[in-house]
Structure formats: C-alpha cells, structure tokens
Amino acid sequence: MIRRHPVLAAVTLVYLVAVGLITLLPQSPDSTGSAVARAIVAALRGFPPTAWVTYDGAEFTANIVMFVPMGVLFTLLLGVHRWWLALVIGVAATCLIEGAQLVIPGRFSDVRDLVANSLGTLIGIGIVAAATAARRPLAVRE
C-alpha cells in the first residue's frame, strides 16, 4: 500500500512525528502552551454562550481532534475494508504514548486521554467510511 501512496505515507509520517513531539517531549508544569490554553479557556468562560467550557473539557476535545487524522490517514493507507486495523493502530499508539508519559518529566498518563484519542481515531475512520460510501454510485449501494 505504501508504494502505491508515497505522498500519503509521507504525510502520515509527518503527522506521527508531530504527535510524538506534542505528546512525548518533557514539559515543565508552568509551560507556555498550558498557560496559553488556560488563558483561552478563562476568556471563553467569561463569555456567556461559552461559560460552560472547562480546561478539562477543552483538553479532552483537543485529544479527540488530534487523533482524527490518525483514523483518516491509516484508513486511507490500509483501505476502508481494513478500518479495524486503523483502529488498532490508533489505540496502540495512544497506549504507547500514555505508557511513555509515565516516565517523562512534566507529563501525566491519563485513561481519559486513551478514551479521547481512541474516539478521535474512530471518528477519523468514520469520516473516511462516510466519504467512501458517498462516492459509490447509488446502484452499487442498494
């Protein structure tokens, strides 16, 4: 598959490196990214329509969004008929990340991240499946 889709394979590799850098580099508890995220959430909480936004909810949502490409890219690389393998790869990747975060300074392993990342992978798989189904001629779908 990778030989047939070298650009997709390269994009997938760049994405995986980015996820690795985001999730596996050591962090200090008062990191700039965390401070910026907390400031954004605080600003949203001050606006009545988004007063319900919490840091934990924003972090959970960000983890979902970060793993949607995992589902999309691996489903495209492996084929829709192997969607389950894309899900296994996404869950395995998040298990490896969460396991590694147990020993990385400033990082914390959390089962909620496993749930969010796996959900993101599943959403990505669903996007590809829906797009593939929509592209099929109507006669083939019936």
pLDDT digits (tens, 9 = 90+) for 105-137: 988 899 999 999 999 999 999 999 999 988 877
Give tens-digit pLDDT for 35-62.
777 888 888 888 888 888 888 898 999 9
Report helix, strand and coil shares of the chain as percent, to nearest 5: 80, 0, 20
Distance CA 46, CA 105 (A): 32
Confidence band (pLDDT; 50, 70, 90) for 33?
Answer: low
End-to-end CA distance of the chain: 29
pLDDT at 138: 61
Q: Say what the pTM is.
A: 0.85
